[in-house]
Structure 1
């Protein structure tokens, strides 16, 4: 077979299809030990990861939606990040069920394309949302006087919309090549990226993933962060104090960005190594097993980012905690007000009833008095 399909061992990796050894219809690149891990250990972990992440991100989105105050620019971007994470986690149960069924995909070609494209859309949307957050911090702390007019909520909402369109467009190539393939030998249907061996489309896609999806946004974030740190240091030297609110908001941004880099960085490295194998800089046969396992592990570390982000909002986000406290106090006061209203109505009703009874007794007494006289 001259052109062999590249099949990813993990159904959830739309970005990197050659990390497994290419195989024909009758071979499988999975060892007995790895098969035990993927069918016994990973599925329950994925279900727990998905459920907890969905609950956390739902909580974050609910806080932003329920709170009556107008969202700030930074909060609009953070809510956009939470929405992207929520959508990614919605696809995890499909991947877990596929692992349980020995990588069988019974959900059809449409869901194969949709579910496995969500990870790419989430990746691009998340990284460029972090870029916009860094730029917003840069404008707020470095260009306060000259570019403050750019920090408008309308612009932030438009930027979020553009980011979703960008993520969708960048995921189109993977969506096109993602297909369901039926293996007659074991009668299983696989959801795979159907790239020809040494495909230029695959090579272009991976270079785009590394450059546009990682290196370029990281450079922008590093530039913004460096200028922010320098500006805060100069402000502290000149004025002798530092705004604690600006510091805490900046710490939250840095924490979210650092978590993203730690979670997605390993996957980007293995994607780059796979590209080196495709252009024959590295020996593909020698690196094949390492890339199989490395891409598996790094992929799960990557999606872990979507579950951990909401925890950062809670522990590092001062304003987020204030919103939660305000919602709690408001609901508690409403319940108290409702209870007081019920009590007051009860008192008034009792008073009226007793007054009517007293009136009836008095009238009856007067009637009896005049009748006797």
Structure 2
């Protein structure tokens, strides 16, 4: 049984086996099934997220605040998926890393940047929906595109800071894996204290801190949406439609990523020897494989959700790729309105007479 390379195979295997008699080997299906899976989600995800970014960039109207956050989320997913084929090659070669030390750091940087930036983009989206529906008048000035762009820039910088352990400790080193020495791209921490400190950054800043913020905003948003839709103003109805898409994207993200973070926290407890036992170690290793790749699949789902749930996004797609049809629709509606208006005026004038 192997651990995915994205989840620090060398260190994890060493820490799990040092001082114990637990032995584990890699099933051959990992080198075939997982390679195909990673390549498929990489290709689909790159195409879908490029499509989303093209729609947002080519559309004539400027992006709304929510669309700015969603476009940055698509960019984060695109970065992750663009580097996944390198891991597919590594898995196919039995976790041997042939691309050098710089690519080892860069590929893992893209993965962790996606983990951190995605959750904090969703935090910003949740706060924006909270201000739009729960307190629309109090924070109207803050809901401006320039502040949204500044928030996205801060999220990218914050994600880069949190990825510091990856840049410092991730390297290509010889490791005895499955009874053979090979170059593996792995984290090489100097001691257990540094290991627990650096590995604890992910669950704390990538899960424990942002999730309560998202949960509180979601609770308030759901309460606001429970009002009768007919009582909302036209602008609030537009916000309602945007919020529906956001809530679906948020729910999908949680389904894909919460299991990963739970297993990550259990893994830290095993490393700290709070929990022990070969059976538990085997379960953690297996769950880590499954939930890591489930989390990656979220990057493919987001663009699909935009098309299925997002009515505004579908309208933007038609305006970008079928502008003639859209102009024809607008011309027809404008012509009908001009025909109706004189008729109404004539009837009102006749009534007066």
- Tell me the TM-score normalised to structure 2 length: 0.84
After superposition, residues 1-373 of structure 1 pair within 5 angstroms as 9-14=3-8, 17-18=11-12, 22=16, 30-31=24-25, 34-183=26-175, 186-196=180-190, 199-233=192-226, 235-236=227-228, 239=231, 244-330=237-323
Aligned to 2:342: none
Name the CA distance, whole Å, in 2 between partners of 1:69 and 1:15: 46
CA contact (8 A) 1:9 1:29 kept: no
Aligned to 2:332: none
* Secondary structure at 2:209 match in 1: helix
CA offsets, 1:39-86, max 9 Å, x none? 111111111110000000000000001101011000000000000000
CA contact (8 A) 1:14 1:119 kept: no
CA contact (8 A) 1:61 1:82 kept: yes
Unaligned runs of 5+ in 1: 1-7, 335-373
Name the CA distance, whole Å, in 2 between partners of 1:29 and 1:83: 40
Name the CA distance, whole Å, in 2 between partners of 1:20 and 1:316: 45
CA contact (8 A) 2:319 2:326 kept: no
Larger radius of gyration: 1
Name the CA distance, whole Å, in 2 between partners of 1:158 and 1:73: 11
Q: CA deviation at 1:22?
A: 4.6
CA offsets, 1:330-356, max 9 Å, x none? 16689xxxxxxxxxxxxxxxxxxxxxx
Q: CA deviation at 1:236?
A: 2.5
Aligned residues: 321
CA contact (8 A) 2:22 2:278 kept: no
* Secondary structure at 1:156 match in 2: helix
| Greater displacement, 43-52 / 280-289 | 280-289
Q: CA deviation at 1:118?
A: 1.2
* Secondary structure at 1:180 match in 2: strand
Name the CA distance, whole Å, in 1 between partners of 2:132 and 2:7: 37
Q: 1:196 to 1:286 in 2, by over 3 A?
A: farther
Name the CA distance, whole Å, in 1 between partners of 2:43 and 2:183: 26
Q: CA deviation at 1:238?
A: 9.5
Q: 1:261 to 1:240 in 2, by over 3 A?
A: closer
Q: 1:284 to 1:16 in 2, by over 3 A?
A: farther
